[in-house]
Amino acid sequence: MVTEGVSRPGSGESRAQDSRDEILRAATDLFATRGFHETSMAEVARSAGVSKALIFWHFKNKEELFVAVLGKLLEPYVIDFAEESGALDEKSQLLKLIESYLQFVRENANSIRFLVAQILRDEAGHDSLSSQVLSLFEGYRSLVTELIARAQAKGICACNVPPPEAAGFLLAALNGLLIGRLFLGSGTTDLDTGGKMLQQWLFGDKLGFAQTPQFMNPDK
Amino acid sequence: MVTEGVSRPGSGESRAQDSRDEILRAATDLFATRGFHETSMAEVARSAGVSKALIFWHFKNKEELFVAVLGKLLEPYVIDFAEESGALDEKSQLLKLIESYLQFVRENANSIRFLVAQILRDEAGHDSLSSQVLSLFEGYRSLVTELIARAQAKGICACNVPPPEAAGFLLAALNGLLIGRLFLGSGTTDLDTGGKMLQQWLFGDKLGFAQTPQFMNPDK
DNA sequence: CTTCGGATTGACCGCAAGGTTAGTGGCGGT
DNA sequence: ACCGCCACTAACCTTGCGGTCAATCCGAAG
């Protein structure tokens, strides 16, 4: 009879799962910092505290381990934006969308870095990763497009370019802020300031910019 | 006596240079498309039409070949923007700056892709590449900052955020357009549209957006 | 206790990579 | 004509990789 539950240390049922998780954790670390080709299975094994052969018992080959890592990395990306903003008006929804994008970038900078590097490498987009990320992005994009269209129809939107272009530009700006954060950690526009400027661009809100007074050209 | 000039095919002086250039060309191609670790010296040799050993005669090792390639890739990046826009007013200079940035992205998408991947890989910024690109970017950034400050002082600038923030946002938006082009070739805001929207944001110019009529919400 | 099967390992293999070396061809100088 | 050196090559060496295999360990069921 199966009296064992789950996750008992050393219990028969969970031992395989434990080692598998540990391998996945180590592989995620190493792949994310060193990259795919620069990480050897021996390194993963050592870092996970298991033998190299055990990795090949869990995963058919290095490629399969890699896609498992990708899957694990992509998990936090699939949050349903539309879900969590039901009863808000268009402006609040857009602001919330921007804020959650920036928040997400803040929290997942490392894995984003890794995924970007990975996407840049596979060249042809034949990989599933590119298309996954792309469809994720497209969902976000179409959501923003529709929100802007409705906001414009209600007259609460200061910018008057067609919604698809506006949405594209909005996302481009957000991605640009992301890039700034990824490449040039400090010295660039920080995320919140960028978000505020997008808000100003979208709705014409006047916002206080209290920083860098040495540049407020006090001449004349 | 040295009667030979340069670049005569088969002449003693230039033979080494020719083969070196050919190797560099092949290596640049392969590194840019496949990446560093995915490109073997044998491939480079075959693509360059020379023996593998000759590569090691020209370059101490694979790493040195790689930095030579990086140097060659970075060459077109160091164009002096300030030089080529002497007698223009601030608005024209800014527009020209934006246009040349977009033009550059259009023409060098492949090498940019490669450099980005490379920068993302080295993690700590200890590499010379990151700092080179970063200083390049900083120059561009400070130039834009000053231009915006002067434009605001003359009252020809519609946007009223502090110049450093405005410049940062402008560059972020440009980088975002770049990202769109790099990742999701089509289906995103194309470069020119993005440039026009930036122009509108900076100077408040009204511009015609003739495209995507199916989205002009003809309801009501 | 024995048995059974999933979990785990050390030792091993083939191979392709980066790198080396001994040697050859050919051109310029004398 | 000969020599010396630069450019260049074929073949080789070594290392470390992804991947395999037979052998073991170990908890659970009978």
Cα separation of B47 and B43, whole Å? 6
Would you list the DSSP string of A101-130? HHHHHHHTHHHHHHHHHHHHHS-SS-SHHH
Å from A123 (CA) to D16 (C1')?
A: 27
C-beta atoms of A169 and B194 within 8 A? yes
Digit-coded pLDDT (tens) for B130-181: 777 888 888 888 889 998 999 999 988 888 889 998 999 999 999 899 888 8
For residue A190, the model assigns a pLDDT of: 81
CA B45-B46-B47 angle, to 5 degrees, is: 95
C-alpha dihedral sign at B120, B121, B124, B130:
negative
Q: Flag whether pLDDT at A1 surpasses 70.
A: no
Banded pLDDT at B126 (limits 50, 70, 90): very low
Cα separation of A179 and A105, whole Å? 10
For residue A150, the model assigns a pLDDT of: 92
For residue A13, the model assigns a pLDDT of: 53
Banded pLDDT at A136 (limits 50, 70, 90): confident
Digit-coded pLDDT (tens) for B43-58: 999 999 999 999 999 9
Domain boundaries B12-72, corresponding CATH code: 1.10.10.60
- Tell me how close the Cα of B86 comes to any Cα of chain A, in angstroms: 23
For residue A220, the model assigns a pLDDT of: 35
Q: Flag whether pLDDT at A140 surpasses 50.
A: yes
pTM for the whole structure = 0.75
User: What does pLDDT average to over chain A?
Assistant: 79
**Which residues in chain A have Cβ-Cβ distances shorter than 8 Å to B189?**
165, 168-169, 172
Tokens of B136: 């390049």
Task: Compute the average pLDDT of residues A53-74.
Answer: 92
Domain with CATH 1.10.10.60 in chain A: 12-74
Nearest residue to D28, CA vs C1'? Answer: A12
C-beta atoms of A120 and B123 within 8 A? no
Domain boundaries A12-74, corresponding CATH code: 1.10.10.60
Digit-coded pLDDT (tens) for A77-113: 766 655 556 667 888 888 988 888 888 888 888 778 8
Digit-coded pLDDT (tens) for A16-50: 788 999 999 999 999 888 888 889 999 999 999 99
Å from A109 (CA) to D18 (C1')?
A: 31
- Contacts of residue B40, defined as CB under 8 A and 6 or more positions apart, other chains included, come to none
C-beta atoms of B161 and A215 within 8 A? no
Banded pLDDT at A76 (limits 50, 70, 90): confident
Domain with CATH 1.10.10.60 in chain B: 12-72
Domain with CATH 1.10.357.10 in chain A: 78-206
For residue A84, the model assigns a pLDDT of: 59
- Contacts of residue A23, defined as CB under 8 A and 6 or more positions apart, other chains included, come to A44, A45, A48, A50, A54, A55, A58, A59, A65
Topology classification of domain A78-206:
Tetracycline Repressor; domain 2 (1.10.357)
Q: Flag whether pLDDT at A67 surpasses 80.
A: yes
- Tell me how close the Cα of A90 comes to any Cα of chain B, in angstroms: 16
